Chain A
Amino acid sequence: MTASHDTFSDKMADAAIRATPEPLAARVRGLSDRAIAWLFIAPTIVLLLAINIFPLFWAIYLSFTNFRANRPNAVVQNVGLGNYSRILNDPDIWASMQTTAHFVFWTIVLQTLIGFTLAYLIDRKFRGHAFWTTLILIPMMLSPAVVGNFWRFLYEPQIGLFAYAVSFVSGIPTSDIQMLGNVHLAPWAIIIVDTWMWTPYVMLICLAGLRSIPDYIYEAAEVDRASPWRQFWSITVPMALPFIMLAVLFRGIENFKMFDMVNLLTGGGPGSTTEVASIALKRDAFEAWATGRSSAFAIVLFVAVFGLANIYVKALNKVKQR
């Protein structure tokens, strides 16, 4: 059977070779391994250039102009560093950066603490732990659009379950629990939703870290009579740290550009209380149509994220090398 199959394959290969026009075959035969490798990756590179690199350079070019997408016929003028200077001196932009920093900081702190705690508990492998793992993972499997709308109803002061729950516990009337309309509570309302949705993701990465710690290390520690507390701080945390840092990196980058959840829950309001950088950018680019200025803003954000991520990755590598 195999022999006859080989014979058939050989015949097919011969037929293909015969059918290949001679000049092309000669050319392919003449290519080096390196050239063939380039041939294979060329489509991907072209695609990347077209949809990633070209828009990036185009945005850099636009950031030095006064171009407005809603006025295609207007003369485009070079404004030099004018857009950058305007962005960096605009108090509203700095306010949106502060809002973003506040949001990123608290979501990371809460998600890391809760995520690691959950992972630590799940790692105990108690009865039914697989079921609980699946249950905990559900929020991150949902679409952000669904989650945003769903929580908007939960937060509704008159009919929302959240308001009822808080009212039941605290005795405050439901009509006074305005999570999305109150300037002090609205940022926390978003942090709660993001934490609810993405803590499972952090938990999953932490769980992978905890499960990668070999059992013999704990066995050796027990022989040395190290207490569970000591084992936790001297073995568990240091060995899971690269994973925790990775989770922080992923969530940090994601939350820096958070848009969907904020847009659905508050739209940046009340006032500009929850106007994170991505919302401010969207407004500038697609509502005010200041394309040149918003391109400069996008570049500033890109450089900030890229720079911070690089510093962080270097720190992560150092931790891994220890």
Chain B
Amino acid sequence: MLKTLRPLLGAAVAFGAFAGTLAVPQAAKAEQLTLCWAAWDPANALVELSKDFTAKTKIDMKFEFVPWTSYADRFLNELNSHGKLCDLIIGDSQWVGGSAENGHYVKLNDFFAKEGIKMDDFVPATVVGYSEWPKNTPNYWALPAMGDVVGWTYRKDWFEKPELQKEFKAKYGWDLAAPKTYTQLKQIAEFFQKRQIDGKTVYGASIYTERGSEGITMGVTNVLYDWGFMYDNPKKPYEMQGYVNSPDAVKGLEFYKALYDCCTPPGASNVYMVESADAFKSGQVAMQMNFAFTWPGLYKDEKVGGNRIGFFPNPAEKYHFAQLGGQGISVVSYSDKKDAALQYIKWFAQPDVQQKWWQLGGFSCLKAVVDAPSFKTSQPYAPAFLESMAIVKDFWAEPSYAELLQAMQKRVHDYVIAGKGTAKEALDGLVKDWTEVFKDDGKI
């Protein structure tokens, strides 16, 4: 009897185990979403915020955060290989074109219409920058999630030192304060360069110079836009000759190099967000260029935060723009849990959730939050953020943005940091590179 039963028992146990291996992931699948993003302060805020989503829906949130230096490589590889790691992704603004055209993101128009989510409720620049492809058309691939823009912090305590104010006024003829123009910014930077403050040598400004990913492009564009650089002819798309390399753009690039040469700390040839924030936190620089997401952390810093720090938007010159950062949140089309992922987006779009997002350190793009009368006084950096978001401009968001970005990284770094050639040659070369890319794409 036992002999007869043994194979049956074995089969039953084996079947049970097999069924178990299938059933357990299925159960987990339905109740867990993976959200992919960069490893930075706002990501921690999102972890905190998402606890409310889990409490409300019983859907667990798992997070896959990757450092900025490998963020694009890691997640673009994931999307290109049709991976299922991410159900939701907060992808960089420049990815939207490629992700839309290659089918990586779920188109959200029908979902927004069904759930009553209106893009008019969000800051227009963020909708164009993070959600739309083609740009300025009502085709939405993401919900604006994290507003971000390049701006500046400065050492308010140093600026307020009477002896420095007096010396500055005598030298430049105007009061030492947050600069309104780049010319003023450079004067301040020169004034502080190699100055002894509290027994320590300090430097003028920390600016983006990183070569490997997107650093120097995200920095130099702030200056180029203000001098008159344009990506193409507004009336004839992809016509770049005379726009990218206009005489004004050349002057702008020369200014960025002059700023790098005169007023940055030693060894600042490969600086991006982390290095720039570190230079400021360690008391090395009087001013620092950085994305707004760093501001809450810097404001809380014991050594340089509180009353010692001030914030100002990108200065103006001939024009007034600032480089857009930030991201939208999208549903990955290869996910098996698209419905649950859409549920998360629906929850995230709610005004009370957006309000809490801002309180926790995220930068909401919802008008109801940023246009509220109390917003400007809610944080010391809120006015600078608002002002900056009104003047944003973004890099190409074309499907071939990676190639366009690499060309600019190389041309600009070669000129600004390595001192190779002239600004005119760098921008002429850039026109040549970009023309080649668009020709390969069949766009010109």
Q: Which residues of A contact B (CB under 8 A)?
A: 66, 69-73, 92, 155-158, 174-176, 178, 180-181, 183, 263, 266-273, 283, 286-290
Contacts and interface: CB of A to CB of B under 8 A. Distances in A.
Given A70-B76, A286-B73, A270 B402 contact: no
25 contacts: A66-B440, A70-B98, A70-B402, A72-B80, A72-B82, A72-B102, A73-B103, A175-B194, A176-B266, A180-B267, A180-B269, A180-B270, A181-B269, A181-B417, A267-B211, A269-B211, A270-B269, A270-B413, A272-B413, A272-B420, A287-B73, A287-B402, A287-B406, A288-B402, A288-B403
Contacts of B410: 92, 271-272
A168 B194 CA distance: 20
A266 B266 contact: no
Interface in B425-443: 440
A71 B103 CA distance: 10
B268 interface: yes
Contacts of B211: 267-271
A269 B73 contact: no
B427 to A, nearest CB: 15
Contacts of A270: 211, 269-270, 413, 417-418
Given A66-B440, A268-B211, A288-B406, A273 B269 contact: no
A156 B275 CA distance: 13
Majority SS at the chain A contact face: loop
Contacts of A272: 410, 413-414, 418, 420
A287 B440 CA distance: 16
Given A180-B267, A273-B418, A289 B413 contact: no
A70 B270 contact: no
Contact of B269 (A175, A176, A269): A269
B212 interface: yes
Contacts of B414: 271-272
A271 B413 contact: yes
A109 B76 CA distance: 41
B83 interface: no
B419 interface: yes
Chain B interface residue bracket vs A = 35 or more
Contacts of B103: 73
Contacts of A273: 418
B418 A271 contact: yes
A181 B271 CA distance: 11
Given A181-B417, A271-B413, A271-B418, A158 B266 contact: yes
Nearest to B79: A70
Given A70-B402, A175-B194, 4 more contacts: A178-B266, A181-B268, A272-B414, A288-B403
Interface of B: 73, 76-77, 80, 82, 98, 101-103, 194, 201, 210-212, 265-270, 284, 399, 402-403, 405-407, 410, 413-415, 417-420, 440
B417 A267 contact: no
A308 B268 CA distance: 39
B417 A269 contact: yes
Nearest to B216: A269
Contacts of B420: 183, 271-272
A174 B98 CA distance: 46
A290 B267 contact: no
Contacts of B407: 288
A271 B420 CA distance: 8
Point out which of A178, A272, A287 has the most chain B C-beta atoms below 10 A from its C-beta.
A287
Point out which of B73, B82, B405, B417 has the most chain A C-beta atoms below 10 A from its C-beta.
B417
B367 to A, nearest CB: 34
Given A69-B80, A70-B98, A273-B418, A268 B212 contact: yes
Point out which of B82, B265, B269, B419 has the most chain A C-beta atoms below 10 A from its C-beta.
B269
Contact of B417 (A155, A156, A271): A271
A143 B257 CA distance: 36
Contact of A269 (B98, B101, B418): B418
Contact of B418 (A73, A183, A289): A183
A178 B417 CA distance: 12
Contact of A289 (B265, B268, B402, B417): B402
A100 B32 CA distance: 48
B397 to A, nearest CB: 14
Contacts of A70: 76, 80, 98, 102, 399, 402
A178 B269 contact: yes
Given A70-B102, A73-B103, A271-B413, A266 B403 contact: no
A175 B399 CA distance: 42
Contacts of B76: 70, 289
Contacts of A175: 194, 201, 266
B399 A71 contact: yes
Nearest to A284: B406
Point out which of B265, B407, B410 has the most chain A C-beta atoms below 10 A from its C-beta.
B410
A272 B413 CA distance: 8
B102 A267 contact: no
Contacts of A268: 211-212
Contact of B270 (A157, A181, A286): A181
Nearest to B410: A272
A156 B270 CA distance: 12
A175 B264 CA distance: 11
Contacts of B210: 267
Given A73-B102, A271-B417, A272-B414, A289 B403 contact: yes
